[in-house]
Structure 1
């Protein structure tokens, strides 16, 4: 979702306007950061995760695995906060209209995600985040009037509580059958799909509320103030460093690594692989597994590490945009229509023609996405899917508001 000047405070020098089709100024750094998240998701889908010669993790894996999805979810929270009043949350009927619009947005994004699920093969080239996104939005609705401090506290509670709940229930929750659920999957396996979307899937909603609620808290701050932007960057870097340092101390200073070896009956080589790539199914034999920071394991420290990277990226882009926002146009344009581009990217992947030349196909996907986004944005503004969903959201809000003409824009989907 995208911030307007009316939602995010007064304009400041250095905030660059690059969209000729909109009368309100945007926080370019937010859109550009969303574009980076999209490029990172493409990288995790297309580029190799390990070096075939050395077996080591590639740079793209270390930079983007887990972190790109975290940035997506963080920015979803920022957008929700900005579209519901920013520093001054809407109240009364207007907030009720916001809730209705967000519910409609969640349903429509989930429908797109379920449709993509019908296109993906059984062993998919990518895991689709869109259906999880719909759940994120629905879970966020009760938090829309909460202030930044309580949003940050709530995020911390989810960061600790959701992983504990996940590990304690893994042995009793039903197994799910599809990495990318379709409508047929939901109807045939409602309980396994629900547990997948909430706790055990690729982007589990309860754990990802850590990112979403933190983003909502950030969106309730004055994001045009340079001091706020610096604090987001510094705190983000600090959280990431502290998470990795804490994990290192627990594993190698306090005996956690040895406990994992003994309790799980693993070879050293296998454990090292699991600490890099993640275990094949999260182990429940010891709570020491919650001390790792491996991407997509969704432990408290893994969530904190990715959250810190995401906050650092957002703070950096907000600061950079004050000076060179116009140069961020490729990222900005993609960030304004990530739902359209991400959907097209997944549809293209479903044909499975990219495996032989991953770097070439990454350049093609990213280049076509940037070129299309810039051409469309500079001439037409919001992307095609964003427009369709925007009309539905506007209609829902008008119904609640009784057809009031003054209906603030809800922002673009991702």
Structure 2
């Protein structure tokens, strides 16, 4: 029998932060520069995409049983719901990618990570935390795989036989696993860590305090370690700057102002912690930020109900995060608000305001967002699993 625990408040507002952050983070560096200005065109909130993955980990644990995993028939049905959810998100992500916007759509990566980490759902929090820590070697593995892809031809053969690769400008599952903006190999650790956190009793103030301290320590080790490494390793910043299309590499320990790799990736790149750099330092820093946000959100929900009432618009967006995200991508495609045709900051403000108004109106009448409801409906056949 699964022991019941109170629902975790404060997570839905974090979903609103994710939606707002992805409105800028999923756009290219050029769009972010237009939105934030040259003096602040770095990824000012590097934990947003990581927080997206962390909230996904919470979702998986809520579906499969919290704090203890479901077993027997209930467990099999829960696993079936997760598989369905993952497959639907993969398909939806490829469909949005086919719209050919400048947005790096996260949903297909998100769906595949669900499927990859699902076999771990019965593990205890401690075991999951150990696995997440061990996964810190995966950026080095990813670097080696990417070099073999760029230097060889085996990936071309795989892509040629991959049906999703024929949808839009995509390399299919090779992109999802290795070469995309959110490769499963380095983003699965976020979801595994979140699964460990979701198994904890977050209604306990001491547990939340330890979680916040752990997150802070991870952020310091990640960003601080990158800052130190970039200054201690001879010529590291010079090599990185020469290999990218941005400016100085001095801020690569936290910002994406260094730009993107233009040719081959030098080993020194593993020393940066810039957003989406897929390095161990980046994993540590982003995970730390995400854990602090979760701990803070749950603490605010527990101690200051009045503040939570003020945050209802943010919580509403968190409840319809999937719908808001998809509508954002579709709006960019339909309205043609990319490529410098419109002033970026007003457009961004309009997207965020529109998402909040939509969420407030919708959640006054319905428990789930429109796409959330369709996703829930798609998982209903799992009830027939024996």
TM range (shorter): 0.7 to 0.9
Would the aligned equivalents of 2:181 and 2:276 in 1 still touch at CA under 8 Å? Answer: yes
Partner of residue 169, structure 1: 145
Residue of structure 1 aligned with 2:299, choices 295, 300, 319: 319
Residue 277 of structure 1 aligns to a residue in which SS?
Answer: coil
Residue of structure 2 aligned with 1:357, choices 340, 343, 346: 343
- Per-residue CA shift, 1:263-304, capped at 9, x if unaligned? 996699855289333432584443x32111111111000111
Q: Do residues 214 (structure 1) and 193 (structure 2) align?
A: yes
- Closer, same or farther: CA 8–44 of 1 in aligned 2, 3 Å: farther
Would the aligned equivalents of 2:186 and 2:278 in 1 still touch at CA under 8 Å? Answer: yes
Would the aligned equivalents of 1:8 and 1:224 in 2 still touch at CA under 8 Å? Answer: no
With normalisation by structure 1, the TM-score equals 0.80
Partner of residue 5, structure 2: 9
Residue 43 of structure 2 aligns to a residue in which SS?
Answer: helix
State the distance in 1 between where 2:330 and 2:288 align.
31
Residue of structure 2 aligned with 1:378, choices 348, 360, 364: 364
Would the aligned equivalents of 2:176 and 2:184 in 1 still touch at CA under 8 Å? Answer: yes
Would the aligned equivalents of 2:164 and 2:170 in 1 still touch at CA under 8 Å? Answer: no
Partner of residue 73, structure 2: 93
- Closer, same or farther: CA 225–80 of 1 in aligned 2, 3 Å: same
Residue 63 of structure 1 aligns to a residue in which SS?
Answer: coil
Equivalences, count = 365
Would the aligned equivalents of 2:18 and 2:48 in 1 still touch at CA under 8 Å? Answer: yes
How far residue 172 of structure 1 moved from its aligned partner, in angstroms, is: 2.2
Partner of residue 21, structure 1: none
State the distance in 2 between where 1:146 and 1:238 align.
25
- Closer, same or farther: CA 361–50 of 1 in aligned 2, 3 Å: closer
With normalisation by structure 2, the TM-score equals 0.85
Partner of residue 230, structure 2: 251
How far residue 139 of structure 1 moved from its aligned partner, in angstroms, is: 0.5
Partner of residue 109, structure 1: 89
Would the aligned equivalents of 2:226 and 2:281 in 1 still touch at CA under 8 Å? Answer: yes
Would the aligned equivalents of 2:246 and 2:258 in 1 still touch at CA under 8 Å? Answer: no
Partner of residue 134, structure 1: 111
State the distance in 1 between where 2:146 and 2:244 align.
23
State the distance in 1 between where 2:360 and 2:375 align.
20
Would the aligned equivalents of 1:81 and 1:144 in 2 still touch at CA under 8 Å? Answer: yes
Would the aligned equivalents of 2:177 and 2:185 in 1 still touch at CA under 8 Å? Answer: yes
How far residue 202 of structure 1 moved from its aligned partner, in angstroms, is: 0.4
State the distance in 2 between where 1:53 and 1:99 align.
42
How far residue 262 of structure 1 moved from its aligned partner, in angstroms, is: 5.8
Unaligned runs of 5+ in 2: 157-161
After TM superposition, the structure 1 = structure 2 runs for residues 13-412 of structure 1, keeping only pairs within 5 Å, are: 26-45=7-26, 48-50=31-33, 55-58=38-41, 61-64=42-45, 66-120=46-100, 124-160=101-137, 162-173=138-149, 185-187=164-166, 192-252=171-231, 254-256=232-234, 258-259=235-236, 261=238, 271-272=248-249, 275=252, 276-280=257-261, 283-286=264-267, 288-322=268-302, 323=304, 324-351=307-334, 352-354=336-338, 355=340, 356-396=342-382, 398-401=383-386
Unaligned runs of 5+ in 1: 1-5, 11-25, 178-182, 402-414
How far residue 325 of structure 1 moved from its aligned partner, in angstroms, is: 1.6
Would the aligned equivalents of 1:87 and 1:222 in 2 still touch at CA under 8 Å? Answer: yes
Would the aligned equivalents of 1:244 and 1:293 in 2 still touch at CA under 8 Å? Answer: yes
- Closer, same or farther: CA 40–264 of 1 in aligned 2, 3 Å: closer
